[in-house]
Homo-oligomer: A and B are copies of this chain.
Amino acid sequence: MKSSVSMLVRLVVPVLVGLVMVSAVEAADRDKLLSEPGVYGTFAAFRLDADWGKQDQTVRIAQLTVLKGVVEQHREKLAIDLYLLRGLSDRADLLFRVHATELRETQQFLLDLQGSPFGRHLTDSAVFSGLTKKANYVPGMPDNLKADLKAPSEPGPKPYVIVIPIRKDAAWWSLPQEQRAAMMQEHTEAALPYNKTVKRKLYHATGLDDLDFITYFETSRLEDFQSLILALEKVKEYRYNRRFGHPTLLGTVRSLDEIIEVLAQ
């Protein structure tokens, strides 16, 4: 039954979303957006309202089809990832992660999303953004540590995603740069053993929201992820966190089609 819904959506898209060019989106830029510095990452989490589930399945499928169109259209410029939070987080049902070189383009996507028939059922949004930067924290870091850090994580699917916002306290920022660098090296070393099974990405949020950092994790082994966080809680740098989590978002990585399947049923 699942695949039939999926097929239906795939067939219906070109018809319903006539004006939208669902041309083969060039994925060339996606890799760049996900790896380069100077890119804005926006995390937009939503709940579905109570009316969503009360609609007829055909109505829901039609609305999800437009959702597909909206996402595909913006994928020409943006890297858009989707996550299912429902059942694992109590703050939201869906999470969009959007990468863009200009935050205005992310805003336009979210405006189109929220203005679509599907988007009118999205409520209680939580939105926060950060900027990717070149890793430059620890100038005197040993070369072998750097090499280890650059080693790619193990291949294979990493179904779980965790997003943890962080705010440092005023004492942190008033420390001399070398002291912060030394503590970040200790932090980095503590994290190293989990490099293979837990993929990490860092966003700098200072000024864009009441946050300093957004940390993003993907893993297939939640137990390793928990050990990583425990290791990080034991280094000195952790004591300078005024906020760590709150909310912590936990969910599973899903393709757009998978999300549509889940919501169509």
Show the binding face of A for B, using Cβ within 8 Å.
38, 40, 42, 44, 49-50, 53-54, 84, 86-90, 103-104, 106-111, 114-115, 120, 123, 125-129, 131, 159-160, 162, 164, 170-171, 173-174, 204, 206-210, 222-223, 225-226, 228-230, 233-234, 236, 238-239, 241, 244-248, 250, 252, 262, 265
Contact = CB atoms under 8 A, between A and B. Distances in A.
A141 to B, nearest CB: 21
Contacts of A244: 210
The 4 nearest A-B residue pairs measured at CB: A87-B110, A207-B229, A87-B107, A210-B245
B210 A248 contact: yes
> How many copies of the chain does the oligomer comprise?
5
A125 to B, nearest CB: 5
A39 to B, nearest CB: 11
B127 A238 contact: no
Contact of A226 (B110, B208, B223, B236): B208
- Chain A binding site: helix, strand, loop or mixed by DSSP? mixed
Nearest to A249: B209
Given A131-B223, A223-B131, A234-B174, A248 B209 contact: yes
Nearest to A116: B53
B106 A87 contact: yes
27 contacts: A50-B120, A50-B123, A86-B111, A87-B109, A87-B111, A87-B127, A88-B107, A88-B110, A89-B127, A90-B126, A90-B127, A104-B159, A104-B160, A107-B252, A129-B250, A164-B207, A170-B233, A173-B234, A173-B238, A174-B234, A204-B226, A207-B225, A208-B226, A208-B248, A210-B244, A210-B247, A210-B248
